[in-house]
Amino acid sequence: MSVTPLQALPLDLLRQRSSTKWRSYDDDVIPMFVAETDFPLAPAITAALHRAVEIGDTGYTPPRPGIDVDFAAYAQRMWGWTIGPSRIRWTGDVMMGVVEVLRAVTSPGDRVIVTPPVYPPFYDTVEEAGAVVERVPLIDDGERWSLDLAGIERAFSRGARAILLCNPHNPTGTVHSRESLADLARLAERYGASVVSDEIHAPLTHAPAVFTPFLDAAPEAAAVGYAVTSASKTYNLAGLKCAVIVTGSEETAAVVRSLPWEVEWRAGLFGVIANRAAFAAESDGWLASLLVALDDNRRLLAELLAEHLPLARYRLPDAGFLAWVDVSAYGWGDNPSPHIRREAKVALHHGPLFGEQGIGHVRINVGCAPEVLREAITRIGALARQG
């Protein structure tokens, strides 16, 4: 049975939004930088929030908000991952959860591995937790990116206490294989290290790629791992604060239970309401339509780049709505995004913020209407032809 692609909202309506994407630049700039999408909310989310406003349900988040049960059911439907609700806690957003777990599993000055090019807040989060960033870049074999397990083992052997994993990876869109995640879990167990896995892009995995939750990758993963995720990226809910922290063993669950009580209080009630509606089976059809739209756009981007920016290098991402593109051949400097924004009026994310592997790169948000994507790449192509 075919699924109809989800339609993005019209630009005149989107420009009435007050979020970062639509308030950072003037209206002559096409915003494709921050990870917000242009689609309508899933109807179940809209209905749940509308009802909350209608009855004035705007108070404190309850001590048992129910998101543990809802996420457990969602994980079972999406990935065949069985989690006991008692292993699921909640907080304000993924980076809040990450920093609190890192504080719990490291001591000040400990080294934490990150795998650039990677989501820029990873670097800040490690430092906020009092730890020190140790970079072990992804391996790029020219066809795809993968974890440098040998490099990670060397870092563990030299005393790194944890790794902050991006699974699926942002910005490359890489879905790490079950085998590599299992190997990572065994390495972490061997060296007494922890794995904190940011899995916020997991529901956006494109077939034939298959997402593997880190905690489900191998028996060892349950002993060393913590997963932090949210509906916020997939369902465009970043302004409604809520995320879940998932553990796989009694020992790691005890670590999360020992976190300060305010870690859970940081989850906003509207965030919980929206996340619960997103995780409900009622929203699965909306997600299927979104995935078709994003799959179409990631492929359309390849066609547009071939037509307008033939020297650019781009691989279809396994997951998400973010495209990692090397435009260094055009001579726009180490950080091409400001030049593109000034001259082509298209705002892209700054490649070097993801690490030195991002020099000459841009990150493009394709979570938009096809005609918006077409106009953006046409503008950049015209800039390239100017020389």
In this structure, the answer to whether residues 361 and 245 fall within a common structural domain is: no
Is residue 6, in this structure, part of any structural domain at all? no
In this structure, the answer to whether residues 267 and 306 fall within a common structural domain is: no
Nearest partner of 131 among 193, 182, 85, 187, judged by Cα? 193
In this structure, the answer to whether residues 339 and 256 fall within a common structural domain is: no
Instruction: Give the number of domains in the chain.
Output: 2
Q: What is the distance, to the nearest Å, from the Cα of residue 182 to the centroid of all Cα atoms in its chain?
A: 21
In this structure, the answer to whether residues 30 and 57 fall within a common structural domain is: no
Q: In this predicted model, what pLDDT tens digit does every residue of 150-204 receive, in sequence order?
A: 999 999 999 999 999 999 999 999 999 999 999 999 999 999 999 999 999 999 9
Is residue 151, in this structure, part of any structural domain at all? yes
Instruction: Give the CATH number of the domain where residue 338 resides.
Output: 3.90.1150.10
In this structure, the answer to whether residues 88 and 230 fall within a common structural domain is: yes
Domain membership of residue 338 as a residue range: 11-40+284-385
In this structure, the answer to whether residues 168 and 289 fall within a common structural domain is: no
Is residue 272, in this structure, part of any structural domain at all? yes
In this structure, the answer to whether residues 228 and 304 fall within a common structural domain is: no
Give the pLDDT score at 73.
98
Give the pLDDT score at 275.
98
In this structure, the answer to whether residues 288 and 353 fall within a common structural domain is: yes
Instruction: Please identify, among 225, 248, 282, the residue that sits at the C-terminal boundary of a domain.
Output: 282
Is residue 104, in this structure, part of any structural domain at all? yes
Instruction: Give the CATH number of the domain where residue 181 resides.
Output: 3.40.640.10
In this structure, the answer to whether residues 375 and 266 fall within a common structural domain is: no
Nearest partner of 194 among 242, 295, 284, 126, judged by Cα? 126
Is residue 4, in this structure, part of any structural domain at all? no
Is residue 26, in this structure, part of any structural domain at all? yes
Is residue 1, in this structure, part of any structural domain at all? no
Residues 6+ apart with CB under 8 A from 365: 32, 33, 34, 35, 36, 37, 321, 322, 323, 349
Alpha-helical runs (H) found in the chain: 11-14, 20-23, 43-54, 67-79, 94-105, 121-128, 149-157, 178-191, 219-224, 232-235, 250-257, 262-265, 269-279, 284-308, 336-344, 370-385
In this structure, the answer to whether residues 18 and 163 fall within a common structural domain is: no
Instruction: Please identify, among 282, 304, 319, the residue that sits at the C-terminal boundary of a domain.
Output: 282
In this structure, the answer to whether residues 258 and 374 fall within a common structural domain is: no
**218: number of CA atoms within 13 Å, CB side?**
17
Parts of the chain with a pLDDT under 70: 1
Give the pLDDT score at 2.
86
Is residue 3, in this structure, part of any structural domain at all? no
Instruction: Please identify, among 252, 282, 312, the residue that sits at the C-terminal boundary of a domain.
Output: 282
Output phi, psi for 325, to 5 deg: -130, 130
Contact indicator for 99, 92 with CB cutoff of 8 Å? no
In this structure, the answer to whether residues 331 and 365 fall within a common structural domain is: yes
